[in-house]
Structure 1
Amino acid sequence: MVRGDGRAARERPATTAIAAAALLAGALAGCTDQAGGDGTGGGEAGRGGTLRIVGASDPDHLDPASGYTFASLSLSRMFARPLFRTGSSNTFEETIPLRPDVARELPTRGNGGISADGRTYTIRLRDGVRWNTRPPREVTAADYVRGLKRLCSPAAPSGGQGYYRSTIAGMAAYCAAYAKVNGGDARAMADFQNGHDIAGLKAKDDRTLVVRLDRPAGDMLDILGLQFATAAPREYDRYVPDGPEFRRNTISNGPYQITRYTPGTTIVLDRNPAWRADTDPLRAAHVDRIQITLGQASPDGVQQQLEQGTADLAWDSPVPVAALNRLRAAGDPRLAIRRSPSLSPFLVFNLQSPNNDRALADRRVRQAIAYAIDRSALVKIYGGPDVAEPLHQVIPPGNVGHRRHDPYPTPGGRGDPARCRSLLAAAGRDGGLTLRLPYRSGGNNPRVAQSVQANLAACGVTAQLIADGNGTFYGRTLVTPSAARAGSWDVAVPNWSPDWYGNNGRSVIQPLFDGRTYGPNSTNYGAYDNAEVNSLIDRALQAERPADADALWHAADRLIMADAAVVPFLSPNFPIFRSHRVRDARFIPTIQAYDYAQVRLAP
């Protein structure tokens, strides 16, 4: 979800991230927050109260191992703790450095946490972090081993598993074997996990986790700090991962616990009585309850509730453009525009689709469609040039490997339907194509889909729009290979935000375009597979010098764009609104949300 680089100082990960922050600050100097702040003024605020969040859809997954939308990541941060984590802040650069969470400290060569060859990490857990079991018990290193094993469950394989398969010794072989287990049988999956070890993962004792890598990886701590890599209690062996029974029985080691979940309707989190503030340096947990009300399909309706004060934060709905313009004109302090460089949205092609006699497998057809897109119209949909800038390459600004280049230029960025038509004719496809285009029904997504539909119609291509929910769009539609091979969709418009900033070269190219990771729940939605791109990924991940890695990521970007595997649309900033009650609203760029654990409520 979705880039600076700092490989020169591997033994000092925090310093690396701060150096990368400085690089990103320069790259993004022209992009500033507007009309907002942290909401600290105007009335006393303290501990207590219910934070009311409203939105449209269920999260894609409730299981932290597989959740991969902004909504699910915001939620699982409240009840599932990784070893390391980044903080929240309204200053973008302050959100980049990695910090210890359940780990006592960041491993370095100096403190013995990273071996001299850079391939072994020894991570010591802090005392007193407890599960909310009866009775409460401490989180152990074995729980982290279990959590990492669950990333490859055949029931709900993690979209982020490629990060771990490509780094941890033995993980790829383990995942390949696990994929053959019956994903509907909780006992069979638990037996496999408990009966098969991963060579690179070992709980040395209850407080010490040892991770061995196939080769050095300067971003390994960032990977272990992702929300996928949280601990899993042994009780999770009873349930099919992310199945209905699992969703009714989540267990927490964070400040909040899910006390009620009604699919499509309500999620309620209350304080976790087993959580201790002195064991958690990153979460404040001011409110007593977090209540998420779903089924609010209209962004305008959500915005109205926030402005009227009957709700506090939006769950998965953006600020509507009409409201955005009105609030900016009024200088409303509840509105902020935060920096969050991303590939959002972009058009992806289903390269396996049998429709139209496999037209989308032909690079010439994809290149023709790349010329059709009117980015100027998309900028207007998102609220204008201060909110979104056109994007013509895969890697967004401010990320390692980014270079401005436009392989499919059009006049004024408005699209070129005549060029699209001529290229389709040259490819022998001038008889017209009909493409199935599923789209998320919330936010700006319907208008984006309609804009794309109009662009394609202008060059003789028919797009059949298919409404979809945010959770099912990411949880089923795009990530089910059998449906893709059957032609259930041809093109789609997802978003992608880097999973971390700083030393994050692999956080765009690898999850979206590494053909070796394609399978159930893969975020390589289109099944793109180019051996040369795969080789560049491997070389970039092993590059010793930041400049070498930067050049390799950029080379991969150019190849992907030459193949027209996707059509980038925009790199937006993120407008976000809060109710008048919300204080200490601190932004998390990687999930485009305020940090629920930091919010205070005015009376």
Structure 2
Amino acid sequence: MKRNLLATTMFGALALQLALPASEAAADPETGGTLRILGTAEVDRFDTVPPATAVTGNFFRAVQRQLVSFKASDDPDEQIQPFGDLATEIPTPTDDGLTYTFTLRDGANWDAPDGARQITSADVARGFKRMCNPSLPSPSISFFDGLIEGVTEFCEGFADIEPTPEAMKDYIEGNDIAGIETPSDDTVIFRLTEAANDFIYLLTLVPASPAPIEVLDYLPDSPDYRENYIASGPYTVESYVPDSVVHLVRNPAWEAESDPLRNAYVDEIDVIAGVQADAAMQQLQSGDGDMLYDIPVPPVTVQMLNMQGDDKISAVAQGSSKMVWINTVSDNNDGALRNLKVREALAYAIDRAAVVQQFGGEEFASPLHGIMPSGVVGHHEFNLFPTPDDKGDPEKSKALLAEAGYPDGLTLKMPFRNLGSDPAVAQVIQASLQEAGFTIELIPTPASDFYARLITNFENAQNGVWDLVPSGWSPDWPGGAARSIYTPQYTYDGTHGTFNFSDYNNPEATELAEQALVTTDLEESRELWEEVDEMVTADVPTIPLVSLQTVMYHGEDVENFLPYAAGGQGDWTNVWLDR
């Protein structure tokens, strides 16, 4: 049985540089200075096991390393290509895709209490063991449970252990995960239960970071853990004032020649919390701040900066998408939405250009015509339901409705989340569809109820509580994340899945998806995912609306501002300051 490596969150942080202006890098890098990062919230986790928010990816980029990671780049293809970080290279799997053997870089060190110490294969294995600790387990363990041999058994045993540092340390050091072998200090071997070419991308996740033995003396992410912080990246935590500032300084154990991804030009980094959006933008423009942490640039500010020709504005696509789900399981309108021509009529009717404007304009969103958003392998340019300038084609839609036997149109119920831009987007969808002959009844729904009680409750679909519903999705890692979009939303094995709202099922597409996952030829995998995208889009279980982007901005003194794919912002470890 194929396991389900799915993302159950509606949020994520993936990055893809778009064709917007970027700052010119200085001719020669400069070292030194303090980089000032402005945020509303503080860095919520220091421990690699339980990262909770996407923006912490930038913090961990600075202080911890993984076997595999991404380059900071303004090249869209390079951004989502995995590179060896602690690993000397990305290995070609053996044993029909079931075995991955990694060699660790010499000189990649821990800033251990007794001085610099080489990171070893035992540290890599220890990092995976910590993920299912009973004190503060990582949600990311679900990606490896059932995929790496022995993870399930190891975690089942760990669940019975008392959540104290002593007991957990004894269990971790006294038990092994069968599918993680450490034949030498510089070699780690992973054995999988099934071929999965996205395994490489899973290794870029922060919870997959190695762990030094010293951290087992403390509860995960406890005050003691933070006070005795051990880094493997170019920076380490020198001081921390809750809800105020995290101060990073150079890690004396870090060796530049061992790190192909981080240049570490600045000497120190301050992550400053408690700054509101307007104040943050003012500080960046006045030179009192350098980069943003968790603060989105407001659309009004973006318009002003564009009018001023400010070249410090750019954008990243987070791999997030918005779509409209179509209910094909209810008997509303005598099951009219099960008719492909009716669904095609809906697809032709949508004014995507107007939806883009409701998200703030082209800096914030771009029309999407498939199920794979920008920043995900499988995304490509195609359009099965083209309309002039993406503004919809009501006449084409009316013709299809008439062919389907509904010349007088249909009345459909569309709940929407009553939060942020969602009400305005719902009104745009309503107007588009009504121009094409549909009557849309909008049902505002509290945000707290929308996913939890309405659309993830399959009985509401079966009972016809809704006909259409605007929704959104993001994968949990960049690049090879097509599985995390396709599997939870567009596969059906006879049992209703939480996020496949209409039990959509296309066995041919699923067969292609399985081929895409097991091939060791990544180009072949990309082509197969592109076929899956087009095949599912042709069935119209959903109507893709837009890919979402995050607008980035930085201060005048920042040079070499390049996006980091897993952080959705510029890479702290590769900018320099020209003060």
TM-score range, shorter chain: 0.7 to 0.9
Whichever residue aligns with residue 344 of structure 1, its letter is S
SS in 1 for 2:181: strand
Shift of 1:216: 4.2
Shift of 1:148: 1.8
CA contact (8 A) 1:587 1:595 kept: yes
CA contact (8 A) 2:415 2:445 kept: yes
CA contact (8 A) 1:348 1:526 kept: no
Shift of 1:244: 6.1
Are 2:457 and 1:463 aligned? no
Q: Name the stretch that deviates more: 139-148 or 321-330.
A: 321-330
SS in 1 for 2:62: coil
Structure 1: gaps (5+ residues): 1-27, 352-361, 440-445, 469-476
Counterparts in 2 of 1:496 and 1:273: CA distance versus 1, 3 Å: same
Counterparts in 2 of 1:142 and 1:296: CA distance versus 1, 3 Å: same
Q: Name the stretch that deviates more: 389-398 or 538-547.
A: 538-547
C-alpha distance in structure 1 between counterparts of 2:232 and 2:487, whole Å: 30
Shift of 1:315: 1.0
In the other structure, the counterpart of 1:276 is 255
In the other structure, the counterpart of 1:149 is 129
CA contact (8 A) 1:53 1:313 kept: yes
CA contact (8 A) 1:159 1:523 kept: no
C-alpha distance in structure 1 between counterparts of 2:237 and 2:225, whole Å: 12
C-alpha distance in structure 2 between counterparts of 1:234 and 1:512, whole Å: 39
Q: Deviations over 1:214-238 (max 9, x none)?
A: 3444454443344332111223334
Counterparts in 2 of 1:599 and 1:178: CA distance versus 1, 3 Å: farther
CA contact (8 A) 2:80 2:375 kept: no
Shift of 1:308: 1.6
In the other structure, the counterpart of 1:214 is 193
1:124 to 103, 111, 118: 103
Counterparts in 2 of 1:544 and 1:288: CA distance versus 1, 3 Å: closer
Shift of 1:142: 0.9
C-alpha distance in structure 2 between counterparts of 1:513 and 1:167, whole Å: 21
C-alpha distance in structure 2 between counterparts of 1:382 and 1:101, whole Å: 36
Q: Name the stretch that deviates more: 370-379 or 384-393.
A: 370-379
CA contact (8 A) 2:473 2:485 kept: no
Whichever residue aligns with residue 119 of structure 1, its letter is L
SS in 1 for 2:274: coil
Counterparts in 2 of 1:435 and 1:395: CA distance versus 1, 3 Å: closer
2:85 to 101, 115, 121: 101
C-alpha RMSD over aligned residues: 5.1
CA contact (8 A) 1:39 1:333 kept: no
Are 2:373 and 1:396 aligned? yes
Whichever residue aligns with residue 570 of structure 1, its letter is V
C-alpha distance in structure 2 between counterparts of 1:258 and 1:220, whole Å: 30
Whichever residue aligns with residue 309 of structure 2, its letter is G
Q: Name the stretch that deviates more: 535-544 or 48-57.
A: 535-544
C-alpha distance in structure 2 between counterparts of 1:193 and 1:258, whole Å: 26
Question: What is the count of residue pairs matched by the alignment?
Answer: 532
Shift of 1:313: 0.6
SS in 2 for 1:591: coil
Q: Deviations over 1:497-533 (max 9, x none)?
A: 67233x66546435776789x9xxx997989896957
CA contact (8 A) 1:453 1:463 kept: no
In the other structure, the counterpart of 1:379 is 356
In the other structure, the counterpart of 2:333 is none
Counterparts in 2 of 1:107 and 1:281: CA distance versus 1, 3 Å: closer
Counterparts in 2 of 1:306 and 1:178: CA distance versus 1, 3 Å: farther
In the other structure, the counterpart of 1:599 is 575
Are 2:112 and 1:133 aligned? yes
Whichever residue aligns with residue 37 of structure 2, its letter is I
C-alpha distance in structure 2 between counterparts of 1:239 and 1:87, whole Å: 32
Q: Deviations over 1:279-337 (max 9, x none)?
A: 32322222222111223343x33222211211111112233222222322332222234
Q: Deviations over 1:366-419 (max 9, x none)?
A: x899999764344124443465321142212575434667789999766899x9
Counterparts in 2 of 1:346 and 1:209: CA distance versus 1, 3 Å: same
Shift of 1:535: 5.9
Counterparts in 2 of 1:230 and 1:454: CA distance versus 1, 3 Å: same
1:40 to 7, 26, 30: 26
Whichever residue aligns with residue 74 of structure 2, its letter is N
In the other structure, the counterpart of 1:170 is 150
Whichever residue aligns with residue 323 of structure 1, its letter is T
SS in 2 for 1:462: strand
Are 2:72 and 1:88 aligned? yes
Counterparts in 2 of 1:494 and 1:530: CA distance versus 1, 3 Å: same
CA contact (8 A) 1:128 1:276 kept: yes
Counterparts in 2 of 1:296 and 1:372: CA distance versus 1, 3 Å: farther
CA contact (8 A) 1:515 1:527 kept: no
Whichever residue aligns with residue 581 of structure 1, its letter is D
SS in 1 for 2:131: helix
In the other structure, the counterpart of 1:235 is 214
CA contact (8 A) 2:351 2:429 kept: no
Structure 2: gaps (5+ residues): 1-15, 328-335, 432-439, 460-465
C-alpha distance in structure 2 between counterparts of 1:565 and 1:240, whole Å: 46
Counterparts in 2 of 1:343 and 1:255: CA distance versus 1, 3 Å: closer
Counterparts in 2 of 1:547 and 1:89: CA distance versus 1, 3 Å: closer
Larger radius of gyration: 2
Are 2:296 and 1:313 aligned? no
TM-score with structure 2 length normalisation?
Answer: 0.72
C-alpha distance in structure 2 between counterparts of 1:296 and 1:526, whole Å: 39
Q: Deviations over 1:242-291 (max 9, x none)?
A: 46665555421111112344454433222223323233232222222211
2:424 to 451, 454, 468: 451
1:329 to 295, 301, 307: 307
Q: Deviations over 1:323-358 (max 9, x none)?
A: 222322332222234xx4554243698x9xxxxxxx
Q: Deviations over 1:17-58 (max 9, x none)?
A: xxxxxxxxxxx9xx96333234326xx973222211112234
1:72 to 52, 56, 64: 56
In the other structure, the counterpart of 2:272 is 293
Whichever residue aligns with residue 591 of structure 1, its letter is G
In the other structure, the counterpart of 1:200 is 179
Q: Deviations over 1:50-96 (max 9, x none)?
A: 21111223456443334364411111111111123222123334435
Whichever residue aligns with residue 597 of structure 1, its letter is T
C-alpha distance in structure 1 between counterparts of 2:136 and 2:427, whole Å: 36
In the other structure, the counterpart of 1:22 is none
TM-score with structure 1 length normalisation?
Answer: 0.70
SS in 2 for 1:344: strand
CA contact (8 A) 1:407 1:562 kept: yes
SS in 1 for 2:58: helix
Q: Deviations over 1:153-191 (max 9, x none)?
A: 45555454454346423334545x268447965556545
SS in 2 for 1:52: strand
Counterparts in 2 of 1:38 and 1:97: CA distance versus 1, 3 Å: farther
Shift of 1:455: 5.5
CA contact (8 A) 1:456 1:462 kept: no
CA contact (8 A) 2:80 2:565 kept: no
Counterparts in 2 of 1:399 and 1:282: CA distance versus 1, 3 Å: closer
